[in-house]
Chains A and B, each alone.
Chain A
C-alpha cells in the first residue's frame, strides 16, 4: 500500500516537476544561442558604446576618456552631415527605382511570354555576380562606354566619366546598385504575383475592370507582404552602402560620395580615429533603429488592413 501510495504521489509530483524540467530544458536549449548572442553581439555593443566616449585610435595602449565630446563634435562635422545627406538621397533614388523596375519586370515575366524561363534566368543573372566585380566592371563602362555614347549624341554631361563629376557620381553608383540588386526583389515579386488567385482575376475581368484597376484592386493587396520584405531589405541595403563606393569612387571626387558606412570605415580604420568612428556608428545605429521601427509600424498596419 505504502508503496502504491508513494508511487501515486510521485506521479502527481512528477507532473509539475516534469513541467519545470521541460521549461529548464527549453531554457538550456537556448543557452548556446544566448551565449553566442551575448559574446558576439551584446558585449561588443557595450564595448563600442564605451570606446565611443574615448579618443582611442584603435591600437594604442593608452587612451583618454572624453565623455560625450565625440558625439558633440560629430554634430558639427560637415563631413559626417554630408555623408548622412548623401546616404539618404542615395537610399531614396535606389529604393524607389529598384523596386519600381523590379515590379515591372516581375509583371512582365509573369505574363504569357515565349521563353519565359530563359528571360527569368537572364534577368536573375546579375545577382550571381559579386558586388566588387560588378563595381569594377561598371567602372570600365563609365570610363570607356558611356562617354563614347555621350559624345555621339552630343550630351555634355555624359561625354565625361560620370563618376569623375561631383554632381553625377551618385547616379553612377546608384545605377550600378540598381542593375545588380534588381534580381532578388524581382523574384520575390514574381512569387507574390503567383499567389494571386486566378478566380479573383477572372471575376474582375468579367466585371469589366481595366488592366490598371485589376492591378491596383486585385493584384496589389496580395503583393503588400512582398513589398514589405523588399522595402525592408532595400532600405537596409542602401543605408549601409559601402562596397560599391570602395570599388568605384573611394568616396570621391573630393568627398562627394562618402556614405555613412564608408565614412565610419575611413575614420576608424584609415584615419585612426577609432573612438570617433564608433560614435558615428552609434548615431547610425540609432537612426536605423528609429527608421526600422517606423517602417514596421506603418507596414504592419497596411498588411492587417489587407486581410
Chain B
C-alpha cells in the first residue's frame, strides 16, 4: 500500500514536471520581448537569421564591427540547415527572427509578403544604396520587401589553359558556342560536362536559357498559367527544346548518371573544357583544385548584342512585421548594406554586388559582372511561378534528355503550366 502510494505520488509528480517543463520552455523566449530600449542603456539583442552557411565567418566579423560601433546592441547570427523551411515555420508561428535574409523570387516568401508578414521597404532609406536595376528586379507586385546585397547569376565556366592550347576564342553567339564545342570534340576532348542526374541544376539551365533565348517568354508563360494559351502555341519552344537536347551530344558519355558534385569535381580536374552552372561553384572549384586556370563567360544569345545575364537576388535582408526591436534591426540592416560592409561580404562570397560603388574583386566572373554593371540583365523567369512548378520543369526536362522525345516534352510542359494560376 505504502509503496503504491509512494509510486503514485512519484507518477503525479513526474506528470507535473513534464507539464511545467513544457510550459516553462516558452518563457525565456518571451522575456527579451519586454520594453527594453537602447535609451535606458540596456542591452538589446537581435537575431540575424541568414541562409548562407559559407558566409558565417565573414558575417560574424561584420557583426563584431557593428557591435563595436553600437555597444547597446548585441547581434546573434543564426544559420541552420534547410533555412527556408525553418524560416517559414518560424514566421508562421509568430517567432520571426528580427532580421533575416530571403529570396524575393521564392514563392513562399511572396505569399508571406501578401499576408503582410514582412515589412514593406518600398522607396525607403534602406534601399538608397542599391542599384536601381536590382531594386526593380527584386520587386514583388511592385513593392520592395528586402534590401538586396549580392546577386547570383549563371555562366559558362571554361578551362583557360585548354582554350589557349586549342587556340579558341570566347564564343560571342550561340552558333559560335556550338562551333567551339565542335572543335574541342574534334581535338579529342570533352567540350561540356553536364550534371543531368540532378533535376535542380537542369531546372536552372532551362529557366536561365529560356529567359535569354526566347522572346517575351515570361509574359507568354504567364498567359499559359492563366489558361489563355498552350505551350504548343509558341513556335519558338520546339526549336529551343531541340537546342537543349542537341547540346548534350557535346557532353560526357553518361551525363544522366553525373550529379552536380561529380561534374564540379571533373571540371576542377580539367576533364572538360566547359561547364554551365551558377557562379556559386567558383569557391568550391578553387578549393578542390587551386591550380586550375579557369574563368566564366556569359551564355551567348543568338546575336552577340543580345547577350545578357540572368540576375537573381542571392543575399537580401528583410524585416518581419511586428518584429522585436525593430529600430535596432533597421540600424543593423543599414550597417550590413553599407558600401564598406558589402565590399567585405562580396570579397569573400565572390558574388556581384547589388550596392552601387562596390567593386568586384573576383577575376573569374569579370565578364559577367561587367554585363551587370552595364545593366544588361534579365530577371529569372521563374519568379512568378507557383511553388513546385520549377521543380516539375526540371524533372520533365530530365525525362526529355533521357528519351529525346521533344513532342512529349512540350506536352509535359503544357500540363505543368496550363491554367496553373486558377488551380
- On A, residues with C-beta under 8 Å from B are 18, 21-22, 25, 28-29, 31-32, 35-36, 57-62, 139, 142-143, 147, 159-166, 249-255, 266-267, 269-273
- On B, residues with C-beta under 8 Å from A are 1, 4-5, 7-8, 11-12, 14-15, 18, 85, 88-89, 91-92, 107-108, 111-112, 115, 196-200, 253-254, 256-259, 262, 387-388, 391, 395-396, 398-399, 402
**Which residue of chain A has its CB nearest to the CB of B14?**
A32
**Are the CB atoms of B8 and A271 closer together than 8 Å?**
no
Since A25-B5, A160-B254, A253-B398 are in contact, a sample of 4 more A-B pairs with Cβ atoms closer than 8 Å, ordered by chain A residue number, is A35-B15, A147-B254, A165-B402, A252-B198
Known: A166-B402, A250-B199. Contact between A270 and B7, CB under 8 A?
no
Which 3 A-B pairs have CB atoms at the shortest separation, nearest pair first? A161-B257, A271-B388, A164-B257
A59 to B107, CA, bound (A): 12
**Are the CB atoms of B398 and A139 closer together than 8 Å?**
no
**Are the CB atoms of A271 and B387 closer together than 8 Å?**
yes
A266 to B257, CA, bound (A): 22
A47 to B65, CA, bound (A): 47
**Are the CB atoms of A253 and B15 closer together than 8 Å?**
no
Partner of A272, one of B91, B107, B200, B254: B107
Known: A32-B14, A147-B254, A161-B257. Contact between A59 and B197, CB under 8 A?
no
Partner of A59, one of B5, B112, B200: B112
Residues in B with CB closer than 8 Å to A59 are 88-89, 91-92, 108, 111-112
**Are the CB atoms of B107 and A32 closer together than 8 Å?**
no
A163 to B200, CA, bound (A): 16
A35 to B18, CA, bound (A): 10
**Which residue of chain A has its CB nearest to the CB of B401?**
A253
**Which residue of chain B has its CB nearest to the CB of A59?**
B92
Partner of B396, one of A21, A29, A254: A254
A35 to B22, CA, bound (A): 12
Residues in A with CB closer than 8 Å to B7 are 25, 29
A25 to B388, CA, bound (A): 53
**What would be 16 A-B contacts, judged by CB atoms less than 8 Å apart?**
A25-B8, A32-B15, A35-B18, A36-B18, A57-B387, A147-B254, A160-B256, A162-B257, A251-B395, A252-B197, A253-B256, A253-B398, A253-B402, A269-B85, A270-B388, A273-B387
Partner of B399, one of A32, A164, A254: A254
**Are the CB atoms of B8 and A165 closer together than 8 Å?**
no
Rounded to whole Å, the gap between the CB of A33 and the closest CB of chain B is 10
**Which residue of chain B has its CB nearest to the CB of A30?**
B11
Known: A32-B11, A270-B388. Contact between A164 and B395, CB under 8 A?
no
Known: A25-B8, A147-B254, A161-B257. Contact between A252 and B395, CB under 8 A?
yes
